[in-house]
Amino acid sequence: TAPIRSPKQAIRQGLGFVPEDRKLQGLFLNMAVRENIIMSGIDQVSNFGFVNGGEANQLASEFVEKLNVRTPSLRQTVRNLSGGNQQKVVIARWLTLKPRVLILDEPTRGVDVGAKAEIYALMRQLAAEGIAVLMISSELPEVLGVSDRIVVMHEGRVTGHFLRDEATQDKIMHAATGGNHHAS
């Protein structure tokens, strides 16, 4: 395949990206849950530039249910949701595009323990459905607990590659520090 040169091209090739900072890069905080969810897949619910309200509600409802987003209404402003529910809205937005690869950058940053467990379960479910899930995380317990494979980078280079069963905190830290980490 040709190199990806734009976000639009990445989306066409089946990539979805959940950014690290959901409030700054992932959400339209003053817009409703529905609008945030349908934003990436708006072509699915619009004709000639006009959004079909019924189809938009159906698409958003499907993902609110699938991801267990706790909201009183699809019209609820995203700003008023908890961090975990905001994160699930960002993930839902990308899932409307049916990506083949979903990149999640620090997916559990700023969410409570319950929401973390739900996000981990969702990641496993997506992988079971055949979606390649690529998680970027600086949380070692998260990396060790959720990943099938772990790739470690240091200063822009891959310095380690481990299967879940062979990965240890010490091996990962050794690779993450460019081979300068010693067990204590």
**DSSP per residue, 83-141:** HHHHHHHHHHHHHTT--SEEEEESTTTT--HHHHHHHHHHHHHHHHTT-EEEEE-S-HH
Residue 122: give the domain boundaries: 7-147
Domain assignment present for residue 164? The answer is no
pLDDT for residue 7 is more than 90: no
Average pLDDT, the chain: 92
Domain assignment present for residue 165? The answer is no
C-alpha angle with apex 30: 88 to 22, nearest 5 degrees? 40
Q: What is the per-residue pLDDT for 181?
A: 55
Domain assignment present for residue 160? The answer is no
Residues with Cβ within 8 Å of 5's Cβ and at least 6 positions away in sequence, in order, are none
Residue 80 neighbours by CB distance under 10 Å: 12
Domain assignment present for residue 101? The answer is yes
Least confident interval from 16-25, 72-81, 143-152: 16-25
Domain assignment present for residue 64? The answer is yes
Domain assignment present for residue 133? The answer is yes
Domain count, the chain: 1
pTM higher than the cut 0.85: yes
* Cα–Cα distance for residue pair 47/37, rounded to 1 Å: 18
- List the CATH number of the domain containing 110: 3.40.50.300
